[in-house]
Copies of this chain bind each other. A is one copy, B any other.
Amino acid sequence: MHSEAVASRSAEHRDSRESRNGTPHLDSVSLAIIEQLQEDGRRPYAAIGKAVGLSEAAVRQRVQKLLDQGVMQIVAVTDPLTVGFRRQAMVGVNVEGDVENVADALTAMPEVEYVVMTAGSYDLLAEIVCEDDDHLLDVINKRIRALPGVRSTESFVYLKLKKQTYMWGTR
């Protein structure tokens, strides 16, 4: 009875192998589940099951696995400005030597929300969330610039956040 929304499940039934980079492979059903939870992280398993063509228990197992594997997390997100963090900035970093080491050091800092290695005129981009100007200055000048291997940094202080979505796949 519940067999729309997903073309052929048996065809991709056994499908939990890993792709070469170690990230787990996601079939279309898991994708559909993620889409449901991107719309509403608290949507009940039964409703999701109806939407993707699975039983409640199956959805529950899949979601649990996705969470355990770290593929997905269900969290509350806010605009930091409304939660009392008044200064944010993106910092471009140039590195000499091993970029990954610096990236790991940045990752370890609680004020750093986001770290990505890039191709272009910076080796790394890091987003920083702070309480005020002093805090921001401290993080950038004292802590980041002091890291071994950091050649130079350039900062972009946020003036206004215009968009922030989490809806990949829902388009």
Which residues of chain B have C-beta atoms less than 8 A from A82's C-beta? Answer: 23-24, 26, 71
Whether B113 pairs with A83 at a CB distance below 8 angstroms is no
Which residues of chain B have C-beta atoms less than 8 A from A162's C-beta? Answer: 103-104, 106-107, 115-117
Whether A158 pairs with B74 at a CB distance below 8 angstroms is no
Which residues of chain B have C-beta atoms less than 8 A from A38's C-beta? Answer: 75-77
Closest chain-B Cβ to A168's Cβ sits at a distance in Å of 5
Q: Which of A93-108 contact B (CB under 8 A)?
A: 103-104, 106-107
Question: Measuring CB to CB, which residues of chain A are less than 8 angstroms from any residue of chain B?
Answer: 23-24, 26, 31, 34, 37-42, 71-85, 89-90, 92, 103-104, 106-107, 110, 112-122, 125, 129, 154-166, 168-169, 171
With the chains together, A168 CA to B84 CA distance in Å? 9
Number of copies: 2
Closest chain-B Cβ to A35's Cβ sits at a distance in Å of 9
Q: Which 7 A-B pairs have the closest CB atoms?
A: A37-B76, A41-B74, A120-B156, A118-B156, A115-B162, A115-B163, A41-B41
Residue from the list B74, B117, B171 in contact with A159, Cβ < 8 A: B117
With the chains together, A151 CA to B92 CA distance in Å? 21
Task: Knowing that A37-B76, A39-B75, A120-B157 touch, tell me 15 more A-B residue pairs with CB under 8 angstroms.
Answer: A23-B81, A23-B82, A24-B82, A26-B83, A34-B78, A40-B74, A41-B76, A73-B78, A74-B74, A77-B77, A90-B118, A116-B161, A117-B159, A117-B162, A118-B158
